[in-house]
């Protein structure tokens, strides 16, 4: 699981671009700054999202924030990650994903002893009161409705990672 700074940089979507086309030089320097200020291992997050573009966006936003992100694109992949990974700092769950939905995954996480206290943020297009209530009742730490505010998402992630860090 341990990732050095350089390979992480290479796997970063913008960095490929930098290498290829030389755009966004400042993004590169921002990255370097960050990697120097976080010399240790990056905090690990897991996210489950089936929409291509949103998955890409999540990964992009969170990696820029200095997290290492494992994406699952459906319930099966998510289950596998839950089985294999050490508990991450935080999990972001979409509700409507194939195979196993967000509620089932949430239950799975809460039942696994070392994951039980991992904060889980639901990020979903289901905006009805009863869905929100149900998610929070069954152990979600937070609930964000799509379309979402990227800054808000980042702030909430920071907050929950901090809570756990204490």
The footprint of other proteins (CB under 8 A) covers 13-14, 16-17, 21, 23-24, 26-27, 30, 51, 53-54, 56-57, 60-61, 64, 75-76, 96-99, 101, 104, 125-128, 134, 146-152
Q: Which residue number, 154 or 164, has a Cβ lying nearer to other proteins?
A: 154
User: How distant, in Å, are the alpha carbons of 67, 73, 110, 158, 163 from that of 51?
Assistant: 21, 8, 25, 23, 29
Q: By C-beta, is 44 or 57 nearer to other proteins?
A: 57
Within 8 A by CB and 6+ apart from 61, the residues are: 150, 153, 154
Closest distance to other proteins from the beta carbon of 25 (Å):
8
Count CA within 13 A, CB hemisphere, residue 118.
Answer: 30
What is the rounded distance in angstroms from the CA atom of residue 121 to the CA atom of residue 136?
A: 10
Give me the least distance between CB of 91 and other proteins, in Å please: 19
Closer residue to other proteins (CB): 37 or 53: 53
**Nearest-approach distance from CB 43 to other proteins, in angstroms:** 19
Round to whole Å and give the CA distance between 91 and 149.
18
Of 38 and 99, which has the nearer Cβ to other proteins? 99
């Amino acid at each position: 699981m341990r990732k050095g700074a350089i390979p992480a940089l290479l796997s970063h979507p913008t960095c490929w671009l930098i290498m290829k086309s030389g755009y966004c030089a400042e993004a590169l320097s921002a990255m370097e700054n960050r990697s120097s200020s976080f010399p240790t291992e990056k905090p690990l997050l897991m996210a489950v999202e089936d929409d291509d573009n949103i998955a890409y966006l999540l990964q992009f936003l969170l990696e820029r924030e200095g997290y290492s992100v494992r994406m699952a694109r459906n319930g099966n992949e998510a289950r596998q990650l839950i089985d294999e990974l050490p508990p991450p700092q935080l999990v972001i769950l979409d509700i409507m994903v194939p195979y196993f939905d967000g509620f089932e995954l949430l239950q799975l996480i809460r039942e696994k002893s070392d994951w039980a206290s991992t904060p889980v943020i639901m990020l979903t297009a289901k905006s009805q009161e009863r869905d929100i209530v149900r998610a929070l009742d069954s152990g979600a730490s937070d609930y964000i409705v799509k379309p979402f505010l990227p800054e808000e998402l980042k702030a909430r992630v920071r907050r929950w990672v901090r809570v756990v860090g204490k």
